[in-house]
């Protein structure tokens, strides 16, 4: 074999995926978010061409079929056509968000797009200048909830100089992700692949180096929890030596920070702390940033922040300023998680009303069921009205903050 095999490994593009958990009130931010997955796709195509990739591998969840968005499938067809023009094939497996049996807009893809079969592990040889340089093995999801271990069907054929496995799977049953196509790292090791191009987990990660098993992650973080670098991997296989280098592609970066207000005594200090947190988030960024902040600590500003509209006014000011930065920063949410500057321990031992409140909260926090029942009684009617199972309250958090709120009101600032 002559020059090394070089390809780009991407996954979980989730084109046109709904952005959850963000309150993008600014039109510029909304537009940028709406276009972000497409811009990431553009960046992926550009990376393939600039890096001189032999081919592109997409390990599932190219788009969210549930959205039934024509635009996403057209966009991918256009991107594939661009790569076809550059002589770069694209190898794709279907994942749980775009299973092969799912909805399709019926848009014909260019000939350079090869979709792996959904009924077996399909081997697709890749030739360069008429010479076989590697073989790609992959299997698509037929349905979204694929619970069988698809990795068990992968087996390297004798004679393959380089073997690449493409699979959308939850290796090791990672929490926070659906346990689809479950398998273990050992399952992967027994298949004889030189490189596992994995998808499903949105955070980029090299699971193993022998063999290389890599989650490419999503090129664009899809919600505020998906902070940190997002992109794809440039993989080079030369004489059996595999190298995988991460390439950032995200056009919007998500950030989360806790802002400790323990030493803050005035709202001006809060404003300054928020501005400092924004600056810190921007310092690490190469693209526009959406940042979430939690104000924490026992702070003298806690009571001031409880005044209706006080925090909102601070956030509005900070947003306006942050949007004027280059690149811009959108302060998505600022939660007040400060606590009153109260000596809980001393109040807890007092045989008075506040002591009763604290001890009652302690009892509820200590007894999960009782606490859940206590909060549940408060929340039942509301949650029934809202009908959103995603809004299940964090009982401990609710109880803690409710306790602090009650103490704050009861003490009125005098007993601190």
Burial track 299-328 (b if 16+ CB lie within 10 A, e otherwise): bbbbbbbbeeebbeebbeebbeebeeeeeb
Whose CA is closest to 218, among 99, 63, 105?
63
The reply on whether position 405 binds another protein by CB under 8 A is: yes
Rounded CA separation 232/220 (Å): 10
Instruction: Determine the size of the site formed for another protein (CB under 8 A).
Output: 60
Q: Is the Cβ–Cβ distance between 124 and 136 less than 8 Å?
A: yes
Q: Please, what is the minimum distance in Å from the beta carbon of residue 398 to another protein?
A: 5
Instruction: Indicate the length of the chain as a whole number.
Output: 416
The reply on whether position 367 binds another protein by CB under 8 A is: no
CB nearer another protein, residue 59 or residue 301? 301
The reply on whether position 35 binds another protein by CB under 8 A is: yes
Helix (H, G, I), strand (E, B) or coil at 343: coil
Burial track 349-382 (b if 16+ CB lie within 10 A, e otherwise): eeeeebeebbeebeebbeeeeebbebbeeebeee
CB nearer another protein, residue 136 or residue 329? 329
The reply on whether position 81 binds another protein by CB under 8 A is: no
Q: Interface with another protein by CB under 8 A: which range of 51-59, 101-109, 162-170, 183-191?
A: 101-109
Q: Please, what is the minimum distance in Å from the beta carbon of residue 1 to another protein?
A: 41
CB nearer another protein, residue 344 or residue 410? 410
Please compute Rg for the chain using Cα positions.
26
The reply on whether position 71 binds another protein by CB under 8 A is: yes
Q: Which residues contact 332 (CB under 8 A, 6 or more apart)?
A: 22, 23, 24, 224, 290, 291, 292
Q: Interface with another protein by CB under 8 A: which range of 48-56, 112-120, 185-193, 380-388?
A: 380-388
Of the candidate residues 349, 353, 367, 368, the single one contacting another protein (CB under 8 A):
353
The reply on whether position 23 binds another protein by CB under 8 A is: yes
Of the candidate residues 46, 52, 103, 157, the single one contacting another protein (CB under 8 A):
103
CB nearer another protein, residue 266 or residue 409? 409
CB nearer another protein, residue 6 or residue 359? 359
Of the candidate residues 49, 105, 267, 310, the single one contacting another protein (CB under 8 A):
105
Q: Please, what is the minimum distance in Å from the beta carbon of residue 157 to another protein?
A: 37
CB nearer another protein, residue 59 or residue 64? 64
Rounded CA separation 243/236 (Å): 5
The reply on whether position 333 binds another protein by CB under 8 A is: yes
The reply on whether position 323 binds another protein by CB under 8 A is: no
The reply on whether position 305 binds another protein by CB under 8 A is: no
CB nearer another protein, residue 127 or residue 377? 377
The reply on whether position 280 binds another protein by CB under 8 A is: no
Give backbone dihedrals phi and psi of 344, rounded to 5 degrees, phi first: -60, -40
> Do β-strands 231-238 and 5-10 pair in parallel, antiparallel, or remain unpaired?
antiparallel
Would residue 74 be called left, alpha or beta, if left means φ above 0 and alpha means ψ between -120 and 50 degrees?
alpha
Two structure tokens written together for 47: 């990376």
Q: Interface with another protein by CB under 8 A: which range of 5-13, 43-51, 200-208, 395-403?
A: 395-403
The reply on whether position 396 binds another protein by CB under 8 A is: no
Question: E-assigned strands of 284-364?
Answer: 289-298, 329-339
Whose CA is closest to 299, among 332, 269, 329, 257?
269
Question: E-assigned strands of 16-84?
Answer: 55-59
Rounded CA separation 199/166 (Å): 8
Of the candidate residues 157, 316, 352, 369, the single one contacting another protein (CB under 8 A):
352
The reply on whether position 21 binds another protein by CB under 8 A is: yes
Contacts to another protein by CB under 8 A: 16, 18-25, 30-31, 33-35, 67-71, 74, 103-107, 333, 352-354, 356-357, 360-361, 374-375, 377-379, 381-383, 385-386, 388, 390-391, 393, 398-399, 401-403, 405-406, 409-412, 414-415
């Amino acid at each position: 074999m002559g020059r090394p095999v070089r390809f780009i490994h991407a996954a979980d593009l989730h084109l046109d995926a709904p952005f959850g958990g963000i309150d993008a009130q600014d039109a510029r931010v909304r537009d940028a978010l709406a276009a972000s997955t497409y811009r990431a796709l553009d960046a992926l195509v550009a990376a393939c061409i600039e890096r001189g990739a032999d081919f592109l591998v997409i390990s599932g969840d190219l788009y969210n079929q549930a959205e039934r968005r024509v635009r996403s499938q057209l966009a991918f067809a256009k991107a594939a056509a661009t790569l076809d023009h550059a002589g770069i094939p694209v190898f794709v497996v279907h994942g749980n968000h775009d299973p092969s049996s799912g909805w399709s807009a019926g848009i014909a893809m260019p000939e350079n797009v090869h979709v792996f079969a959904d009924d077996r592990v399909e081997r697709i040889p890749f030739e360069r200048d008429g010479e076989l340089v590697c073989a790609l093995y992959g299997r698509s999801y037929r349905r979204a909830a694929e619970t069988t271990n698809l990795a068990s069907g992968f087996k390297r054929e004798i004679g393959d100089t380089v073997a690449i496995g493409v699979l959308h799977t939850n290796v090791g049953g990672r929490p926070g992700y659906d346990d689809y196509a479950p398998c273990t790292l050992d399952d992967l090791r027994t298949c004889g692949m030189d490189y596992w191009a994995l998808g499903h987990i949105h955070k980029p990660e090299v699971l193993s180096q022998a063999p290389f098993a890599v989650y490419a992650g999503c090129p664009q973080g899809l919600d505020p929890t998906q902070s940190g670098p997002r992109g794809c991997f440039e993989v080079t296989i030369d004489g059996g030596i595999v190298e995988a280098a991460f390439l950032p592609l995200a056009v919007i970066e998500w950030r989360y920070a806790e802002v400790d207000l323990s030493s803050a005594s005035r709202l001006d200090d809060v404003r300054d702390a928020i501005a400092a947190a924004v600056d810190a988030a921007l310092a690490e960024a190469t693209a526009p940033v959406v940042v979430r902040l939690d104000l924490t600590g026992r702070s003298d500003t806690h009571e001031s922040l409880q005044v209706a509209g006080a925090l909102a006014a601070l956030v509005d000011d900070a947003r306006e300023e942050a949007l004027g930065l280059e690149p811009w920063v959108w302060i998505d949410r600022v939660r007040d998680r400060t606590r009153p500057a109260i000596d809980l321990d001393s109040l807890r031992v007092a045989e008075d009303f506040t002591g009763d409140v604290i001890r009652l909260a302690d009892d509820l926090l200590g007894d999960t069921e009782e606490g859940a029942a206590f909060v549940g009684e408060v929340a039942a009617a509301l949650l029934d009205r809202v009908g959103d199972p995603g809004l299940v309250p964090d009982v401990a958090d609710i109880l803690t903050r409710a306790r602090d709120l009650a103490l704050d009101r009861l003490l009125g600032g005098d007993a601190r």
